[in-house]
A and B are shown apart, each in its own frame.
Chain A
Amino acid sequence: MMGKTTLPEGFSELERFVPDWAVTHSADRAARRLDSTSEEREAFFYAANDLAAPALALLDSKPLAELDEAETRLMQLMLSLAHVALAVEIQGDDESRHAVGARHMTITRASADPR
Chain B
Amino acid sequence: MANQAPQQVSLQDEAIANLGTGPIPAGPYYRADYFELEREAVFRRTWLQIAHLSELPEPGSFIVRRVDIARASILITRGRDGQLRAFHNVCTHRGTELVSEEAGRRSLFSCPYHMWTFSDDGELRSAPDFERFYVDKSSCSLPRVAVEVCAGLIFINLDPDTDQSLRDFLGPIAPQLEKLPVARATRFSEYTYEIKANWKLTYDNFQENYHLRFIHPRSGAAAVGSDNPFGYPVKFGFHGPHRTQTIWSNPEAAPKPFQGFAFGKALEAALMDGCEMALAKDYFAIFPNFFMLGSPMTPFSHCVIPIAPDRSRGVIRMYWIGEDRNASQRFAREYQMATARDVHAEDREVIEAGQRGLSSGALSHIHMQEQEVLCRHLFHSVDTMVNAYQAQKLAGGERV
Contact = CB atoms under 8 A, between A and B. Distances in A.
B is bound to A: yes
Interface of A: 26, 29-30, 45, 49, 52-53, 56, 59-60, 63-64, 67, 75, 78-79, 82-83, 85-86, 89-92, 94, 98, 100-102, 104-112
A108 B189 CA distance: 8
Given A49-B258, A60-B328, A91-B218, A26 B337 contact: yes
Interface residues of B, number: 42
Contact of B335 (A82, A102, A105): A82
Contacts of B356: none
Contacts of B193: 104-106
Interface of B: 187-195, 217-219, 256-259, 261-262, 265, 318, 320, 323-324, 326-328, 330-331, 333-335, 337-339, 341-342, 344-349
B335 A56 contact: no
A45 B258 CA distance: 10
A86 B338 CA distance: 8
Contacts of B326: 59-60, 63-64
A30 B341 contact: yes
Contacts of B331: 52, 56, 75, 78-79, 82
Nearest to B320: A111
> For the complex, would chain B's binding face be called helix, strand, loop or mixed by DSSP majority?
helix
Contact of A101 (B324, B330, B338, B345): B345
A42 to B, nearest CB: 13
Contact of A89 (B188, B258, B324, B347): B258
Contact of B342 (A78, A86, A109): A86
B333 to A, nearest CB: 4
A104 B262 CA distance: 25
A24 B256 CA distance: 27
Q: Max chain B CB contacts within 10 Å: which of A52, A79, A90, A100? A: A90
Nearest to B335: A82
A52 B194 CA distance: 34
A79 B344 CA distance: 20
Q: Max chain A CB contacts within 10 Å: which of B192, B258, B333? A: B258
B261 A111 contact: no
